[in-house]
Amino acid sequence: MGSIERPKVMGIVNATPDSFSDGGRFLAADAALAHARRLIADGADILDLGAESTRPGAEPVPAEVEIARLVPLIQAIRAESAVPISVDTMKPQVARAAMAAGANIWNDVAALRFSADAPAAAAELGCDVILMHMQGQPRTMQAEPHYDDVTAEVCAFLAERAEAAMAAGVARDRIWLDPGIGFGKHTTCHNLPLLARLDQVVALGLPVLLGASRKAFIGAVDGGAPADQRLGGSIAVALAGAAAGVAAVRVHDVRETVQALTVQAAIRNAG
Ligand code: HH2
């Protein structure tokens, strides 16, 4: 038997400014590049750059603003590193600009559904595409999520979106799937059963990305721990994902996650 490899670690880089003043924007761009450098040094296998928050209730960001935040950052990272870059956007025009600037992966939490042009754009770009499950729309998705069988419904959705992408011309070996932890899912009633049956998502036969870092269900399980105190829970989910066979995890705390997954793989390989 060959040795078990750990999942790839995708580090999250937020390119969303807190302030809309020019000074704030400049500082935000600088801070995003510094953060990207830090995550590369910490061992990130992939960087995921986002310029539009998908948090419930977050305001949409126009495409030009997303492009203005992302393109200079991608160029600056590319000038010093060959690390694969993914871009977290629902807009084809942003994906096009990002790939032209040197990004490699389109991370679409809308799974190519929110723009009629999206499937054809993904095919034309020829980049890797992450198709994520979400019930509803980002602004309202946490209002009243409902499932009869969350895992079966997420799997059926992902299989359908992969078929739609391939029908539009996206190559099968470019497609990743993501169960969309926290996207239109009740904190514990939906996220926990889905995580318990992640092997069913993996069994769809395409690489799976798992994004659970610091999400609300961890706080719900651990007595209301705030987002900055969810590292232990985030690592627990990454380890569970690795045991279920996910290909990659999307995390804030790259160094700690790489270490946990490396030790887990070393133990499994010694057995
Ligand atoms: N989660 C968030 C954003 N993008 N993309 C994928 N593919 N999978 C995810 O689970 C995912 C994602 C959630 O982001 P949010 O909690 O709003 O903030 P952050 O970007 O800091 O994680």
Q: Is 6 a catalytic residue?
A: no
Please report which confidence band the pLDDT of residue 22 belongs to, taking 50, 70 and 90 as the band edges. low
Residue showing tokens 């198709």: 131
Return the beta strands (E) in 109-228 as ranges.
128-132, 175-178, 209-211
CA proximity to 186, closest of 230, 233, 144, 240: 144
SS3 assignment, position 106? strand
pLDDT digits (tens, 9 = 90+) for 144-156: 999 999 999 999 9
Q: Are the CB atoms for 119 and 109 separated by under 8 Å?
A: no
pLDDT digits (tens, 9 = 90+) for 120-141: 999 999 999 999 999 998 888 8
Q: Decide if 235 is inside a domain.
A: yes
Q: Is 250 a catalytic residue?
A: yes
Q: Decide if 48 is inside a domain.
A: yes
Question: Strands 46-50, 175-178: parallel, antiparallel or unpaired by DSSP?
Answer: unpaired
Q: Decide if 1 is inside a domain.
A: no
8, 197, 215, 230: the active-site residue: 215
Q: Which residues contact residue 123 at a Cβ distance below 8 angstroms, ignoring those fewer than 6 apart?
A: 165, 168, 169, 170
Q: Decide if 2 is inside a domain.
A: no
Q: Decide if 25 is inside a domain.
A: yes
Pocket test for ligand 1, best of 114, 250, 251, 252 (most atoms within 8 A of CB): 250
pTM across the whole model: 0.96
Q: Decide if 113 is inside a domain.
A: yes
* Interval between CA 112 and ligand 1 midpoint (Å): 16
Q: Decide if 120 is inside a domain.
A: yes
The residue nearest atom 1 of ligand 1, judged by CA position, is 211
Full residue range of the structural domain in which residue 219 is found: 8-269
Q: How distant is the alpha carbon of residue 217 from its chain centre?
A: 17
Percentage of residues of the chain with pLDDT beyond 70: 96
Q: What is the domain count for the chain? A: 1
The first and second tokens of residue 183, run together, are: 């996207």
In this structure, how many other beta carbons lie within 10 angstroms of the beta carbon of residue 190? 23
Q: Decide if 177 is inside a domain.
A: yes
Residues with CB under 6 A from ligand 1: 12, 14, 50, 53-55, 88, 107, 109, 130, 132, 178, 180-181, 209, 211, 250
* Cα separation values, 237 from 1, 20, 157, 194, 260, Å: 26, 35, 22, 12, 11
Residue showing tokens 């497609």: 175
* Cα separation values, 101 from 62, 72, 76, 82, 137, Å: 19, 8, 10, 13, 28
Q: What is the CATH number of the domain that holds 104?
A: 3.20.20.20
Q: What is the mean pLDDT of the chain?
A: 94
* Interval between CA 118 and ligand 1 midpoint (Å): 19
